[in-house]
Every structure is written in C-alpha cells, then in structure tokens.
Amino acid sequence: MVRTIAASTLALALLGAVAAQAAGDPVATRKAIMQSVAGAAGLSGAMMKGEVAYSPAAGKAAISSFNAAGHTFGDYFPEGSQAGDTTAAAKIWEDRAGFEAAVAKLADAAGAAMQASGKDGPADVEAFKAAVGPVLGTCRDCHQVYRTR
C-alpha cells in the first residue's frame, strides 16, 4: 500500500516535470521538480513520524526523487527566466556560483543517501532518518537565500 502510494505520487510528479520540459518552459519545469521533492519530503516526514508505515522501497523511492532533483534542478534557471510566476530570487542570477553550490549540497546529500540505501533501500526507519536528514536540511538553507518566500 505504502509502496503503491509512493510510487504513484512520484511517478505523477515526474510526469509533470517531463510534460513541462517538453513544453520548453523552464519555470514550470523547475517548479515541477520542486513539487516532486516536496512529495518525497512529505512521504519521508510521514514515515519518520510513523504516520505511514516505513518500507525500504518507499524510502528508496523518496531518496531517488531527491537525487534526481539534485542532478536536474540547476539546469532550469536560464537568463530571462527571472520573471513570471516564480518565487526564484534575483540572487540566483546575481550569484550563480553560490546558487550552484547550494544545488550541489542537495545533490551531494542525496548522493550520500543513495549510497547508504544500498540496492533495496535503508533497512529500517532509523537508517532512513540518518540518510535523509541531511537532504532535508538543504531545503530551508537554499530557500532562505534563493527564494522570495
């Protein structure tokens, strides 16, 4: 059950990202990527709190979603995409190196979580917490500086 929910949520989020990308809209694409990490973060939090029964497969699905975001998100901030329906801060374009370092923190934390997951996902919720904690720490750090709200 948990596995089904996780898989379908993530698949939907990824489909959204792909559809937006096909439309050539970087703002919609980066938001869709963030929606997928928000889904993964929601599932992670629910499993950590015991609201949703932990399963290694669901844990790994969440971690895979963070990892995919870490490797793609930074590609969707071309010049000219500062305007429109976006909460991306102007600082991204003023301090590109700083922003890329923040994206790399997400990618590095998610990469380490992938390593710790092994083939089948973290064995229990304690191992999952240890793997995902650092990933979740990157959300607020980046948003505080590179997002307008």
Read off φ and ψ for residue 81, nearest 5 degrees: -100, 20
Determine the Cα–Cα distance for residues 58 and 46; give it in Å rounded to an integer.
Answer: 11
42-81: contacts with ligand HEC (CB under 6 A): 66
**For ligand HEC, the closer CB: 1 or 101:** 101
Among 5, 46, 82, 86, binds ligand HEC (CB under 6 A): 86
- Per CB under 6 A, the list member of 5, 25, 35, 111 interacting with ligand HEC is 35
Q: What is the DSSP string of 76-123?
A: G--TT-SSSS--B-THHHH-HHHHHHHHHHHHHHHHHHHHHHTTT--S
Contact positions vs ligand HEC (CB under 6 A): 27, 30-31, 34-35, 37-38, 41, 66, 86-88, 102-103, 106, 135-136, 138-139, 142-143, 146-147
